[in-house]
Every structure is written in C-alpha cells, then in structure tokens.
Amino acid sequence: MRTFLPDEQSTLDAGSAIANLIRGAALFRPPGFQIRLVGDLGAGKTTLVRGVLRGLGYLGRVKSPTYPLLETYHVDSVTVAHFDLYRLEAPSGFAEAGFEEVFAGEGIRFVEWPDRAGSLLPPADWIVTLQAQPPEGRVLDISGLTTVGCDALAALKL
Ligand code: ADP
Ligand code: MG
C-alpha cells in the first residue's frame, strides 16, 4: 500500500486510520501487533505514532522516546509501546533493557530504527516506510509481513 501525505495533518490522519483498524480488528489482542517504522530523521515516524495515539483517544503529550528508548501508553483497553532505538548502541542493549518482554502478550508495538536491535527484535507484522518528497510531503508505504498483517492491511482505509 502506498500513498502520498502532502502535509503533517495528513500523516496524523493516516495514524488515525490505523487507530481505527487497531480497534476494529482488535489487533492489540494476544499475541499483539508490531509495526516497524523506517525512514530518515524527520521523516514523520513519530508524527504517525502521535496520530495513532490521538485516534485511539489518548489526550496527553506524545513525545519522541529518543532517550528513554521506550514510552508506553494505556488508552482504554489498548497498550501501545513506542520504541525509538536510534540511540541503542548495540543489539545486546535491547535484551539488557528487558525489551524482549514488551513483545509478550497483548499490545501494539511501534519500533523506530528497528535495525538497531539486530536479530533480537521479534518478527514484525508491518513495515511502514516514510520518505520525504521534495519540495514537501511524504510518501507512505506499508507492507504486510504476516498473515494477520496482510489481512489488516487489506482492511486499512486511508
Ligand atoms: P521522525 O520521528 O521520523 O524523526 P518526526 O515525526 O519527529 O520524524 O518529525 C517529522 C517532521 O516532519 C515534523 O516536523 C512534522 O511536522 C513534519 N511532517 C510530518 N509529516 C509530514 C508530511 N506528510 N508532510 C510534511 N511534513 C510532515
Ligand atoms: Mg522519531
């Protein structure tokens, strides 16, 4: 799935559409759902997660988890884990921080800079790519990697 996002609001709206899908298809149920976010610094990865959280009904601030590496949100019955692994120095740090446990059971997991965790990161359901499109806007690309991920992607209404 590929679409053009002309401005920040359209990235937030795409996040909101993903939130509707998360609720509608109950993607948070065990074993949970993992979305990897790929793109340069400033591509809009955190903005997309902010749109998802807003769409789920989260009213608080959504910061980039650059230093804590992980921020966890609870909205109604949905748990959202948002990783930014940019500053993870070695994949072993992923295990040392106990991050593998976050992938057990229910919940939606967003992972910025997934390659930093090497092979320690469990398999993803979606890979989302955001790419700046000069002079403005972004191209959003979503690929499904699992059966659940492909079914969900087929139901996504952007
Ligand atoms: P990342 O997490 O990928 O480093 P951020 O989401 O923190 O990126 O920042 C992206 C920047 O790009 C923000 O300033 C945001 O307003 C802007 N932005 C997001 N989506 C778009 C878009 N579709 N078109 C133009 N600017 C965008
Ligand atoms: Mg970010």
Determine the distance separating the centroid of ligand 1 and the alpha carbon of 105, expressed in angstroms. Answer: 31
* Contact assessment for residue 36 and residue 129, using Cβ atoms and an 8 Å cutoff: no
Residue 124: what pLDDT?
98
Q: Domain extents for the chain?
A: 2-149
What is the ipTM metric for this complex?
Answer: 0.99
Q: Does domain 2-149 have CATH number 3.40.50.300?
A: yes
- Which tokens hold the place of 70? 């992980």
Q: Does ligand 1 have an atom closer than 6 angstroms to the CB of 43? A: yes
Which atom of ligand 1 is nearest the CA belonging to 39? 3
Q: Does ligand 1 have an atom closer than 6 angstroms to the CB of 135? A: no
Q: Does ligand 1 have an atom closer than 6 angstroms to the CB of 96? A: no
Q: Give the whole-angstrom CA distance, residue 53 versus residue 37.
A: 15
Of 3, 5, 8, which is best to mutate to test ligand 1, by the most ligand atoms within 8 angstroms of its C-beta? 8
- Which tokens hold the place of 34? 């993992």
Q: Does ligand 1 have an atom closer than 6 angstroms to the CB of 50? A: no
Q: Give the whole-angstrom CA distance, residue 90 versus residue 121.
A: 12
pLDDT tens digits in sequence order for the chain, 158 residues long:
999 999 999 999 999 999 999 999 999 999 999 999 999 999 999 999 999 999 999 999 999 998 999 999 999 999 999 999 999 999 999 999 999 999 999 999 999 999 999 999 999 999 999 999 999 999 999 999 999 999 999 999 88
Residues 6 or more apart from 46 whose CB is under 8 A from it?
Answer: 62, 64, 84, 112
